[in-house]
């Protein structure tokens, strides 16, 4: 299992899907953004932690515990999730494969690329097929309407994708909370990537 960020807290934290939630700083995963819950805990680990600013450094943030300032806690957790997801979006290279302008050779290469033996994650959403390639951190988008318009059979393509042992199909709601879907908004192509973290 992979994570987007660390959450260091003694309190209950429901969203453990993408977050390494720990109560001991020894269990933090190095290199991941970290949110420390609790002012005293933040000061203990980072004596220079500012009281008026939640940002300790580029990768470390803090917020008050729920019992001290509940509203601030909830706002900061939401803000941290938004920040982490925006960072994840920047790491993913999204490209749209235009079947209407692609040459025969490009379409042949697409088939090789799509059905090779690398592990991939796919999702169908709003007339689009999105495929995430973990090895290259790429998500490819294909318009199913464009496939039909160009004279190809989109249903046949989807059957081939479903049968391919190297492509795991994910549903839009799998592992992805409403809050997460709201944060990524029109960047639905991120969902196969997010689902792959729990594979």
Number of domains in the chain: 2
The pLDDT tens digits for 9-67 are 988 887 778 899 999 999 999 999 999 999 889 988 988 888 778 999 999 999 998 87
Both tokens assigned to 101:
């302008």
173 pLDDT higher than 80: no
Choose between 198 and 139: higher pLDDT.
139
Is the domain of 99 the same as that of 182? yes
- CA 35 centroid distance within chain: 18
- CA 128 centroid distance within chain: 18
Choose between 176 and 160: higher pLDDT.
160
Report the relative pairing of strands 128-133 and 167-169 from DSSP bridges: unpaired
Strands (E), the chain: 5-8, 19-22, 34-37, 55-57, 60-63, 93-97, 120-125, 128-133, 138-143, 167-169
The pLDDT tens digits for 58-93 are 999 999 988 788 788 889 999 999 999 999 999 999
Identify the DSSP state of 26: G
Residue 199's pLDDT band (boundaries 50, 70, 90)? low
Tell me the residue range of the domain where 129 lies. 92-196
Report the relative pairing of strands 5-8 and 167-169 from DSSP bridges: unpaired
Look at residues 56, 75, 90 and tell me which one is the last residue of a structural domain: 90
Using the structure block, give the residue that is written with the tokens 């040459």. Answer: 103
Mean pLDDT of the chain: 89
Rounded mean pLDDT, 108-116: 91
Is the domain of 109 the same as that of 192? yes
Is the domain of 114 the same as that of 188? yes
Is the domain of 33 the same as that of 55? yes
Residue 109's pLDDT band (boundaries 50, 70, 90)? very high
- pLDDT more than 70, % of the chain: 97
């Amino acid at each position: 299992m992979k994570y987007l960020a660390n959450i260091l807290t003694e309190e209950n934290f429901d969203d453990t899907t993408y977050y390494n939630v720990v109560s001991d700083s020894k269990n933090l995963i190095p290199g991941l953004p970290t949110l420390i819950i609790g002012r005293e805990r933040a000061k203990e680990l980072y004596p220079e932690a500012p009281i008026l600013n939640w940002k300790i450094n580029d990768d470390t943030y803090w917020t008050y515990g729920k019992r001290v300032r509940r509203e601030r806690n909830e706002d900061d957790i939401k803000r941290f999730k938004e920040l982490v997801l925006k960072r994840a979006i920047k790491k993913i290279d999204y490209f749209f494969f235009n079947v209407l302008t692609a040459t025969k050779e490009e379409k042949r290469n697409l088939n090789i690329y799509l059905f090779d033996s690398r592990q991939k994650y796919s999702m169908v959403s709003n007339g689009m097929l999105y495929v995430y390639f973990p090895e290259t951190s790429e998500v490819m988008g294909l318009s199913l309407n464009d496939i039909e318009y160009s004279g190809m059979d989109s249903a046949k393509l989807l059957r081939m994708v479903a049968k391919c042992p190297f492509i795991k199909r994910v549903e839009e709601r799998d592992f992805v909370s409403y809050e997460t879907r709201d944060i990524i908004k029109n960047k639905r192509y991120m969902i196969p990537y997010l689902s792959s973290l729990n594979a």
